[in-house]
Amino acid sequence: MRKTLRHAWIVARKDLLLEFRSRTAILSAVVFTALVLVIFEFGRDPTAIATLDLAPSILWVTFSFAAMLGLNRAFQAELENQALDGLLLAPVSRISLYWGKLLANLAFVAVVETVGLLLFTLFFNVPVGHILLPLVGVIALATTGFIAVGTLFSAMVIRTRFAELMLPVLLLPFLIPPLVGAVQVTAKLLAGRPLSEVGGWLRLLLAYDIVFVSLASILFPSTVTE
């Protein structure tokens, strides 16, 4: 187990260093996040729908599509010079490869979500300071679930043509449960309601994470083996 975690960390660190050096995906995702939030800010009629009613959906639509940009690049670096074959040839368990990729994707999306949350509070004038801790917890719960599934699908489609088109088509149906849960919990938090009112949604998010991280860890080896 220690070895698996160590290899996972080595893979994640390499991915993050590559992203830090190239900065292509992170910049696209941050710019995309800012653009979506600007469009929602100027495209909505605040007299028709209250900001607080719309804000949770806007936040999660932005997060999920920005995350998609990150997931699309997750295995791109492995195709360059066929590094993926090298990884598969190395005496490293496939699970540690998956966990490494998952960890790097989570770090990537965390950065995008941090920027997104700052811009969200700025554009929509929604105060989140008093609910920051539970809000971050919900974001972490929901993000872990859909990034777990997204990392698996990203590996599945990477050798196919139109991988960038295939990923959202495959992934979006699986995003429905965590997104619905996240929107519901975020809405309650922004409305100042206690977390006890959304216990069911929180349990669903937690169950989704456990099920899909486990399932994806089991299925990942067969998706990358020729």
Residues making contact with other proteins (CB under 8 A): 7, 10, 14, 17-18, 21-22, 77, 80-83, 85-92, 225-226
Of 78 and 113, nearer to other proteins (C-beta) is 78
Of 92 and 157, nearer to other proteins (C-beta) is 92
**3-state secondary structure string, 155-182?**
HHHCCCCCHHHHHHHHHHHHHHHHHHHH
Place of tokens 């206690």: 194
Task: Give the C-alpha separation, 133 to 215, whole Å.
Answer: 29
Of 47 and 82, nearer to other proteins (C-beta) is 82
Task: Give the C-alpha separation, 14 to 82, whole Å.
Answer: 16
Question: Please, what is the minimum distance in Å from the beta carbon of residue 19 to other proteins?
Answer: 9
Phi-psi region of 193 (alpha: psi -120 to 50; beta: other; left: phi over 0): beta
Of 50 and 89, nearer to other proteins (C-beta) is 89
Of 9 and 32, nearer to other proteins (C-beta) is 9
Question: Please, what is the minimum distance in Å from the beta carbon of residue 26 to other proteins?
Answer: 13
Are 116 and 38 in contact, with CB atoms under 8 Å apart?
Answer: no
Of 22 and 125, nearer to other proteins (C-beta) is 22
Question: Please, what is the minimum distance in Å from the beta carbon of residue 11 to other proteins?
Answer: 8
Question: Please, what is the minimum distance in Å from the beta carbon of residue 14 to other proteins?
Answer: 5
Give the ranges where 125-162 is alpha helix by DSSP (H).
Answer: 132-157
Task: Give the C-alpha separation, 180 to 205, whole Å.
Answer: 10
Question: Please, what is the minimum distance in Å from the beta carbon of residue 147 to other proteins?
Answer: 22
Angle (nearest 5°) at CA 171 between 156 and 9: 60
Question: Please, what is the minimum distance in Å from the beta carbon of residue 92 to other proteins?
Answer: 5
Question: Residue 111 phi/psi, 5° resolution?
Answer: -65, -45
